[in-house]
Chain A
Amino acid sequence: MVKRTMQNQRPISRRTFLRLSAVFTAGAGLAACGGEPPAPVAVPTVAPTEPPVAAEPTAAPAEPTSAPAADAAPTTAAESGGQPSSYNEAPMLAALVQAGSLPPVEQRLPKNPMVVDGLEGPGNYGGTLRRAYNGVSDYYGPNKVQQISLVWFKEDLSLRPDLAESWEVSEDAKTWTFKLREGLKWSDGKDLTTDDFKWYYDHVLTHETLATQANTGRGAYITGADRTLMEAEFPDKLTAIFKFADPNPLFIYQVTRGQPFVPSEHMKQFHADFADPAELEAKVKEAGFETWEQLFDDRNRPLIDNRPSTGTWIPANTFGEQLFEMVRNPYFTQVDSAGNQLPYIDKVTHLIFESPEALSSRVIAGEVDYQARHMSIGNFTLFKENENQGDYKVVLGVTAGHIAFQPNHTAKDPKLREFFQNRDVRLALSHAINRAEMNELLFNGTAEPRQYSPLKSSPQYYEKLTKSNIEYDVEKANQLLDAAGYDKKDSEGFRLWKDGSGTLSFVIEGTALPGSTDEDAVQTLVKYFAAVGVKAAYKPVERALYTQHFNANEIEAAFWGGDRTLLPLVPQQNIFLGTTLDRPWACAWGIWRNNPDDPNGEQPPADHWINKIWALWDELVTMADEQARDQKFFELLDIWAEEMPMIGILGELPQPIIVKNGLKGVRPGIPIDDPTKDEQIANNQTFYWDDPSKHGG
């Protein structure tokens, strides 16, 4: 019966097909309309009349060739605009130029700076943006605020140039060529050229002892099973050529945030091949480290110890302090179409919060200006109630996360393994869940019942998987379980193991703590399972213990959401493969694929469908043609729709974003995921205050 249902479905539904065609032919602008809540009409006050020419890459892979400029304007206005002829700068910088301590703006900007317009057009200079962070462990919060690299995402998630003026990829996707803008500068005023690329390649990436440090970023530049490092050539000061041993068509996503270059002049003082040995040793000792590699690795992080950066804002005091302050980068490389050097806002501050209560208290008092990070949906009502008092608005973004359940197909107990490996059982468990009720109970109906699958706003959205087996149907669930051989029950009505040896039961592990929305969700899930006679219990564990359990395949089932669904092809770690072990649906198999020598790993049976998933993935990551690659990925998702490896429950989860009244240029409904810098996807350099004097000048 189930089989027939599957046969009735065509591999790609008509609707999906139409949608796909739309993405690839009509242009990227349309893709964004698919899933995003209506964005405010973005009409820049200085409307670009010329179709964008200089700002567009010549050979961007994600760039549609025939996008009609007129159609694209409403959604991509933020990125367009002709090249301005003269430049303006912030008053605080103009004062420094006047005083002679800073060169004039024309000399600080590259020859053809990147032009980025805000949603609400050119803005006012000045003011401070206040945010919250969790101290040194929250390095990525402030880091994402300022991070700028070679390319970045447009609103429709295609890519636009940034520090790179253009880029090209060879047909076999093995060679990438980046053309830098001429006249790029580090935040200390030194030139940024391919010399900095070359130094990074010669003295960090290929250095015997430095290469293995955690923060060298080496993982981004290796390919293949034997982890071969790319080769690099730098024919002139503006051209960087990266050659990979294997096709690497997704490499472009590594340089949205990662940088294949370092401020070499600055970093030389920490490098044993360049620095004076005695001086370097004194520095190592003073910093409390044992080796110079540790010191180098630490000092090579942006935000740390005056390291020059390409960021929007640069540190004004020490990262980790109670109030971490960042101030505008005088050499920032972007302008708006009126020629105003970005950013508009002078300062971004991060105040430490030691407890969630202290943070909520700050939000309600109106002391947080723009923040999604650390804002829990559980506090939505609290934040909303106090909007007027705190003079802010709560807007909702969409997170990439899902409420999901992972049965471990490789559970140590052979009976449980048999149970979870049975496809009918997984379908039954999925049908046993009343997703609509859960959505109402826990999220006020703001989430969406769906399987774990790419977001609607994702270029790889795939409706077939999203909607498969999500109907609440207890009868069907019971039928499936009965037919699977689990029809005998104990005195309490719980099903017995197939061989009748006692009650079937398993433990769901997770880190959701009592009282949290997530914990409510998993407890509700346990009730739904009980209603079809499946006995499960939730056990909250400390994160380190959880890690230890999945690393040793000692986990029966897990409850740990599922994210990375905005750009599922970007990250190295992929939940769809079962190799992201904290979502342990194929724990022992995932361990084996990550490291065949690991004693806890197991090779999956040769005829198992997971091998097909892996084969598809290994093939698609080498495919240069975007459309064909996506098709391959949809094939992979077809297997997911068919086999239901893990059970998704709710998705498109809302993420509260606090926006102070008077802050302009903020886009609501943004998707929130790590590769796109969370809430910083939205060009925060174009945010501005309608009255900067009310916000710290």
Chain B
Amino acid sequence: MAKYILKRILYMIPTLFVISIISFAIIQLPPGDFLTSYVATLRQQGEDIDATAIKALEEQYGLNQPIYVQYGKWMRNILLYGDFGLSFEWRRPVKDLIWERIGLTVFISLLTILVTWIISIPAAVYVATHQYSFLDYLISFISFVGLGTPGFLIALVYLWIMLSVFGVNAAGLFSEQYINAPWNWDKIVDMMSRIWAPVLILALDNTAGIIRTVRANLLDELNKPYVETARAKGLKERILIWKYPVRVALNPFFSTVGWTLAALVSGETLVAVVLNIQTSGPLLLRALTSQDMYLAGAFVLLLSALTVLGTLISDILLAIADPRIRLEG
């Protein structure tokens, strides 16, 4: 097992290297660069910025160099100094910007994942074991709605209902008077009174998928001979279901659990944008649209690293949960 893990970690290095190159190139693909839009904004504000100033800016930000030189410089600073570069738009170190938002992001994501699991796994097991019952239809109906409706749309509908029925602006994680207030009990209460909505909206999105997959898998397993055998031997139904077929049916769940690691950090961008929540998702989206390349690049790199790491974790989990898996290759 240890050898397997070590080998997998070594594989991660070239993977990440390739990802970093590709992501850096993709960020550079759209026409223009950050300066194009920056200069346009300055001009729009009536500031007369002449050609020499633009040239000086290009030089300072290294934007006049070929892309591989820019990449090399960026990588060198990351590897040697842990310096992810400067965000052009914020004029602040990328590291600080991401770090500031990571706490809240991870908190919301963890909460969402927990809620997702608490709802989806029992529900999936229930609907599979009670196929074609009323509750099966109801839960399936809701989960199809959840699957078919993007989270941001539900968020919009939620905003509208809160406004038109209660006259309350439900966007944001805090009421205005608590945003800059130091943490205290009132602030926590205020947050808790608001956080459930984004968490539920995000959870609904994921819950539906998990219920559908686990239900289908479990239905396959329930008719297999080993279940019959166990039942014939007089094993209690509850223990039987949870100990054997559920474990197998959760296989696809474990193999995707790795991705949640990246999701923890990226936050659910669109829902966060609609609900005005200051997680890292909106930060990433802005960085991409304004071609703030070091900020966007650092994000993509971080997310890729977490995905690769998450895949490793899910492989290990799979090996533990499913005895049929062998650690070869």
Q: Is the CB of B47 within 8 A of A219?
A: yes
Which residue from B57, B93, B272 sits with its C-beta under 8 Å from A214?
B57
Q: Are A544 and B32 in contact (CB under 8 A)?
A: yes
> Which residues of A lie under 8 Å from residue B180 when comparing CB positions?
317, 321, 323, 325
A609 to B167, CA, bound (A): 59
Q: Is there an interface contact between B179 and A137, defined as CB atoms closer than 8 Å?
A: no
B163 within 8 A of A: yes
Complex: how many Å from CA A605 to CA B185?
74
Interface size range of chain A in the complex: 35 or more
Against A, the Cβ 8 Å flags (1 = close, 0 = not) of B50-78 are: 11110111001000000000000000000
* Nearest neighbor of B279 in chain A, beta-carbon distance: A354
Decide if A136 is an interface residue (CB 8 Å cutoff).
Answer: yes
B159 lies within 8 A of A213 (CB) = no
Q: Is the CB of A214 within 8 A of B49?
A: yes
Q: Which residues from B are CB-within-8-Å of A542?
A: 30-31
Q: Is the CB of A367 within 8 A of B169?
A: yes
| Chain A residue contacts of B36, Cβ below 8 A | 544, 547-548
The closest CB in chain B to the CB of A130 belongs to B176
Q: Which A560-579 residues sit within 8 Å CB-CB of chain B? A: 570-573
Please tell me if B45 contacts chain A, counting CB pairs below 8 Å. yes
Q: Which residues of chain B are within 8 angstroms of A220 by Cβ–Cβ distance?
A: 48
| CA gap between A582 and B37 in the complex, in Å | 12
Q: Mark B31-42, 1 if CB is under 8 A from A, else 0.
A: 110001110111
Within the complex, the shortest CB–CB distance from A213 to chain B, in Å, comes to: 7
User: Contacting A675 at CB < 8 Å: which of B46, B86, B96, B176?
Assistant: B46
| Chain A hits for B171, CB < 8 A | 357-358, 361-362
**Contact bitstring B174-189, A, C-beta under 8 A = 1, else 0:** 0011011000000000
Among the interface residues B38, B85, B179, B273, which one has the most CB atoms of the partner chain A within 10 A?
Answer: B179
Beta-carbon nearest neighbor of A598 in chain B: B51
Given B91, B93, B276, which contacts A353 in the complex, CB threshold below 8 Å?
Answer: B276
Closest to B39 in A: A214
Q: In the bound complex, how far is the Cα of B89 from the Cα of A570, in angstroms? A: 28
Report yes or no: B179 in contact with A361, Cβ–Cβ below 8 A.
Answer: no
B223 on interface, CB distance cutoff 8 Å? no
Residues A498-557 near B (CB distance < 8 A)? 542-545, 547-548
Please, which residues of chain B bring their CB within 8 A of the CB of A320?
90
Q: Which of A355, A389, A571 contacts B273 (CB 8 A)?
A: A355
B213 at the interface (CB under 8 A from A): no
Would A288 and B47 count as touching, CB distance under 8 A? no
Residue A212 at the B interface, CB < 8 A? yes
Q: Determine, out of A163-171, A289-297, A679-687, the stretch whose residues face the partner at the interface.
A: A289-297
Given A212-B52, A570-B46, A674-B46: A361 and B163 interface contact (C-beta under 8 Å): yes
What number of A-B contacts does a CB cutoff of 8 Å give?
139
Most chain-B Cβ atoms within 10 A of its Cβ — which of A135, A218, A322, A571?
A: A322
Q: Give the distance in Å from the alpha carbon of A582 to the alpha carbon of B41 in the complex.
A: 12
> When the two chains form their complex, are residues B278 and A365 in contact, meaning their CB atoms are under 8 A apart?
no
- Interchain CB contact (< 8 A) of A135 among B40, B56, B169, B286: B286
> Chain B, 11-42, contact with A by CB distance < 8 Å: what is the 0/1 string?
00000000000000000001110001110111
Q: A140 an interface residue at 8 Å Cβ cutoff?
A: yes
Interface size on B, residues (CB 8 A): 58
In the bound complex, how far is the Cα of B47 from the Cα of A570, in angstroms? 11
When A219-B49, A289-B86, A291-B60 are in contact, do A365 and B168 touch as well, CB less than 8 Å?
Answer: yes
State how many angstroms separate the Cβ of A387 from the closest Cβ of chain B.
Answer: 13
List residues 107-139 of chain A with CB under 8 A from any CB of chain B: 130, 135-137
Closest to A253 in B: B46
Q: A563's closest neighbor in chain B, by CB?
A: B44
Choose one: B47, B50, B92, B168; the contact of A227 (CB below 8 Å).
B50
**Does chain B have a CB within 8 A of A623?**
no
A222 to chain B, nearest CB (A): 8
Interfacial chain A residues near B96, Cβ < 8 Å: 288
User: B282 interface residue, CB < 8 Å from A?
Assistant: yes
Output the residue of A135, A353, A358, A674 with the most chain B CB within 10 A.
A358
Smallest CB gap from A675: residue in B: B46
**Per-residue contact bits, chain A 203-228, to B (CB 8 Å; 1 contact, 0 not):** 00000000011110111100000010
A588 interface hit (Cβ, 8 Å): no
Q: Answer whether A544 and B31 are a contact pair too, CB < 8 Å, given A317-B180, A365-B169.
A: yes
Judged by a CB distance under 8 angstroms, whether B249 is at the interface is no
- Given A227-B50, A354-B276, A365-B163, residue A287 in contact with residue B92 (CB < 8 A): yes
Q: Report the minimal beta-carbon distance from A50 to chain B, rounded to whole angstroms.
A: 37
Report A-chain residues with C-beta under 8 Å of the C-beta of B278: 322, 352
Is the C-beta of B311 less than 8 angstroms from some C-beta in chain A?
no
List B contacts of A548 (CB < 8 A): 31-32, 36
Bound complex: CA A288 to CA B294 (Å): 12
- CB A323 to nearest CB in B, in angstroms, measures 4
Is B275 part of the contact surface with A, judged by Cβ < 8 Å?
A: yes
Residue A439 CB within 8 A of the other chain: no
Which one of B47, B168, B291 has the highest number of Cβ atoms from chain A below 10 Å of its Cβ? B47
Residues of A within 8 A of B86 (CB): 288-290
CB distance from B193 to the nearest CB of A (A): 16
Residues of chain A contacted by B177 (CB below 8 angstroms):
696
Interface residues of A in 316-357 (CB under 8 A from B): 317, 320-323, 325, 349, 351-355, 357
Complex: how many Å from CA A573 to CA B291? 25
Inter-chain contacts of A217 with B (CB < 8 A): 47
Whether a CB of chain A sits under 8 angstroms from the CB of B274 is yes
Does B7 lie at the interface of the complex (its beta carbon under 8 Å from any beta carbon of A)? no
The reply to whether the CB of B216 lies closer than 8 angstroms to some CB of chain A is no
A182 at interface by CB-CB < 8 Å: no
Q: Confirm or deny: B217 has a beta carbon within 8 angstroms of a beta carbon on chain A.
A: no
Is the C-beta of A411 less than 8 angstroms from some C-beta in chain B? no
Shortest beta-carbon distance from A347 to chain B in Å: 11
The CA-CA distance from A32 to B272 in the complex, in Å, is: 46
* Contact (Cβ within 8 A) B48 A219: yes
B residues near A364, Cβ cutoff 8 Å: 163, 169
Query: Contacts A213-B53, A294-B60, A317-B180; is A137 near B290 (CB within 8 Å)?
Result: yes
- Write out the residue numbers on chain B whose beta carbons fall within 8 Å of the beta carbon of A227: 50
Instruction: Let me know if A571 and B31 touch, CB within 8 A.
Output: no
Name the residue on B nearest A386 (C-beta).
B163
Closest to A299 in B: B91
How far apart are B21's CB and chain A's nearest CB, in angstroms? 23
- Known interface pairs A137-B290, A288-B92, A361-B171; A354-B272 also in contact (CB < 8 Å): yes
- CB-CB nearest in chain B for A295: B91
Whether B202 sits at the interface, judged by CB under 8 Å, is: no
What chain A residues lie within 8 Å of B89 (beta carbons)? 136-137
- The CA-CA distance from A674 to B46 in the complex, in Å, is 8
A298, CB-defined interface residue at 8 Å: yes
Query: Residue among A135, A365, A696 with the most chain B CB within 10 A?
Result: A365
A and B contact pairs by CB, cutoff 8 A, 7 listed: A219-B50, A287-B93, A288-B91, A288-B92, A321-B180, A351-B179, A357-B156
Closest A-B pairs by Cβ, 3 of them = A219-B48, A365-B169, A288-B93
9 new A-B contacts at CB < 8 Å, known A214-B49, A287-B93, A390-B167: A137-B286, A213-B56, A288-B92, A288-B94, A320-B90, A354-B274, A548-B36, A572-B46, A674-B44
